[in-house]
Amino acid sequence: MTVLLAQAAPQATGAASLAWLLIALPAAGALVLFLAGRRADGWGHWLGVATVLASFAVGVSIFVETLGLAADDRLREQSLWSWMSSGALSVDFGIRLDPLSLTFVLLITGVGTLIHLYSVGYMSHDPNRRRFFAQLNLFVAAMLVLVLGNNFVMLYLGWEGVGLASYLLIGFFQDRPSAATAAKKAFIMNRVGDVGLAIAIFLLWLELGTLQYTEVFARIGEVPGGTVPAITLLLLLGACGKSGQFPLQSWLPDAMEGPTPVSALIHAATMVTAGVYLIARSSPIYDLSETGRLVVSLIGVVTLMIGAIIGCAYDDIKKVLAYSTVSQIGYMILAVGLGPAGYALGILHLLTHGFFKAGLFLGAGSVMHAMNDDVDMRRFGGLWKKMPVTFVTFGLGYLALIGFPFLSGYFSKDAIIEAAFAQEGWQGWLFGGLATLAAGLTGFYMTRLMLMTFFGEERWRQVPSTDGREYHPHESPATMTVPMVVLAFGSVFAGWILYGMLPGWLAPSVGERVEAEGGVLPHAVIPWLVVGVSLLGVLLAYLFVGRSRVPVERPQRVSPVVRAARADLGANAFNERFLERPGLRLTRFLMYVDDRGIDGLVNGTAAAFGGGSGRLRRLQTGFVRSYALSMLGGGVLIVAAMLAVRFA
Amino acid sequence: MTPEYYLLLSALLFAIGAVGVLVRRNAVVVFMCIELMLNAVNLSLVTFSRIHGDLNGQVMALFVMVVAACEVVVGLAIITAIFRTRQSSSVDDANLLKY
């Protein structure tokens, strides 16, 4: 079956020949909304919803058609036009339809539609709603280019496209300096990763002379041994940037400055998963490098711990969820780093996570909507009575996330931990152990979030609102609750449905799943262990938060661990101390050299000529007799010179 | 009489003319000094013609006379025009074309 990875693909026919519409529809929506200006204020948001919904419909029809094909025929391509052709380099704008890209298409357009719909309600009071939908559409289009492209250049195009769209969306509230800062931070940290991706693509081009997936994967064996690990590590750097993985994770929580639907769409369901997609897509390359895969798993496991630890210390509901996302994507990266045993599991967790994390973010948005945009959980409490739909859907997402048995997250996370424990020796203990520990921490911080938000005393009655209005918690309108309900269904059933089907469905794209065997712990023990540790986390959270009073003001006397976690484990401080400030100093030095050295040389030459000319100009006195004298002098000089030559 | 004397006279006349151009301010006098220089040149041309025994120098002298006549016509017209507007025939007063 893996032969499909490398084979030349047949041209798409039938419904698949409409694949270009997948990208074209949201792109056209974005274009119309950007160009129409204020005229579109009345209907622009519905256009935004409609284009993504139509794209979803096209995706479903292609998916259904593909299901009808034999597994070996499920890779099809549609070449749209020759994008660039220069010397030996020729890149087509081509679409690759295979199980992996179709999976992402359904996730992106499906969850995207729900979030667009939700945004209609959530952003109803925002005067710039049209611009918001234009940017959301642009984002969806870019993400679809990323997953549908049939070569690395299109991947890069989409990669940069989602970077741009997320920059615009994080900085959507243009009147907030913090949003502008967060947008810049996200953009720049992504750029650091993008450099890695770009160099990896250059290396592939240098070694193989092609960037088409099919050709690259068919000929990857020709690349010399030392270059393959380099390519895998550089691809990983790109993935770290986009997916908020260690050491480039600190932009993701700051990105919560954007409107909440953005957090749900970009920072839970789509953009941050691009790194996982990249590694799964490049699976033939990773299969050749043990080192590369090991580093991927290490990065994943480090990140999932960092995310889980920091998640325990925040009081900002969206930031807890953001760090939870960092942590969950760590699971996915860990999984795809495990190789053929984990590619499908990584994608499985990505899908289930797309459902329940998007649902959780939308729920958080609903809570904020009810609480005058407050995000501090210490000021919430007892909200379950006021907003039952939000509470139930959020609760289901919560249960799915902590891996409550037989909900979505249970299937995917548990499978990843099993695969991690199935590694031999220290790797099994390290990956499996930390992944289990993080599951416990997930139980802790998510339970803490639930208890502080929905249970306990109604602390919002005790404090004045941050914006001066009184709190009147209320349920959100239907445009917001309907998507939450749909996503809650996904949180409950997605894992159960997908667990059996997905690995087989994805086999043509990422290879047949190798069942994990052996390992450091017997298989039957692991689910009990994981659930046990998670419940322990839940219990601890109940003891710390549920049974005692939650102070409205954040306690200052805390243990060093909490203090470190509140400071993002020093990530920002490290970045500032070792990267930002030296970078600034280098820039200042270079600017000095540029100003005084290079500009000095150029301007100095110009000034010398200018000044000299100014002085020479004085010779033009306008007096006829002085000109006559100089003519005479010249004549005398010439005669003298001629005489000297004659008689010398 | 050797031709060198003619050349010496020519040089003397040219020098007198040159000094006159340099030191006198009155445009008419400057003009006359230029005429003097031209005639000095003409004298040396004719002398050289004689020394070499051909007519080239004499022809050149005729050209110089024609050009000098034209120059005087134009130059006097300019001087008259300047005098009319500025009530002065001093060449130093007409220094508008300076830097």
**A16-21: long-range contacts, CB 8 A cutoff, minimum separation 24:** A16/A62, A16/A65, A16/A66, A16/A76, A16/A78, A16/A97, A17/A78, A18/A58, A18/A61, A18/A62, A19/A58, A19/A62, A19/A78, A19/A95, A19/A97, A19/A148, A20/A78, A20/A80, A20/A95, A21/A54, A21/A55, A21/A58
Residues of A in Cβ contact (< 8 Å) with B21:
625, 628
| Residues of B with Cβ-Cβ distance to A628 under 8 angstroms | 18, 21-22
pTM for the full model? 0.77
Test A621 with B99 for CB contact under 8 angstroms. Answer: yes
Report CA dihedral (A208, A209, A213, A215) to the nearest 10 degrees. Answer: -70
| A-B Cβ pairs (cutoff 8 Å, strict) | 36
On chain B, the residues whose CB falls within 8 A of the CB of A632 are: 18, 22
Q: ipTM of the predicted structure?
A: 0.85
Instruction: Give chain A's residues under pLDDT 70.
Output: 1-9, 466, 468, 516-518
Mean pLDDT within B81-95: 84
Angle, CA A432 vertex, CA A426 and CA A436 arms, to 5°: 145
Residue of B nearest to A625 (CA): B22
Q: Considering CB atoms only, which of A618, A620, A624 is closest to B91?
A: A624
pLDDT for B60 beyond 90: yes
- Alpha-carbon distances, residue B23 vs A628, B16, B92 (angstroms): 10, 11, 11
Nearest to B22 among A617, A620, A625 (CB): A625
Write the residue in A618, A621, A632 that is nearest to B95 by C-beta: A621
Residue numbers in A near B22 (CB within 8 A): 625, 628-629, 632
Nearest to B98 among A621, A625, A628 (CB): A621
Q: Rounded to the nearest 5°, which phi and psi values hold at A136?
A: -60, -45
What is the distance between the alpha carbons of residues A235 and A229, in angstroms, rounded to a whole number?
Answer: 10
Select the residue of A617, A623, A632 nearest B95 (Cβ to Cβ): A623
Residue A648, CA atoms < 13 Å, CB-side half-sphere: 6
pLDDT tens, A82-95? 888 888 888 888 88
Asked whether the beta carbons of residue B99 and residue A628 sit closer than 8 angstroms, the reply is no
Residue B77 — pLDDT band, cuts 50, 70, 90? very high
Q: Measure in Å the smallest separation between the Cα of A645 and chain B Cα atoms.
A: 21
- Give SS3 for A277: helix
| Alpha-helix runs per DSSP H in chain B | 3-23, 27-52, 56-86
Q: How far is A580 from chain B (nearest CA, A)?
A: 55
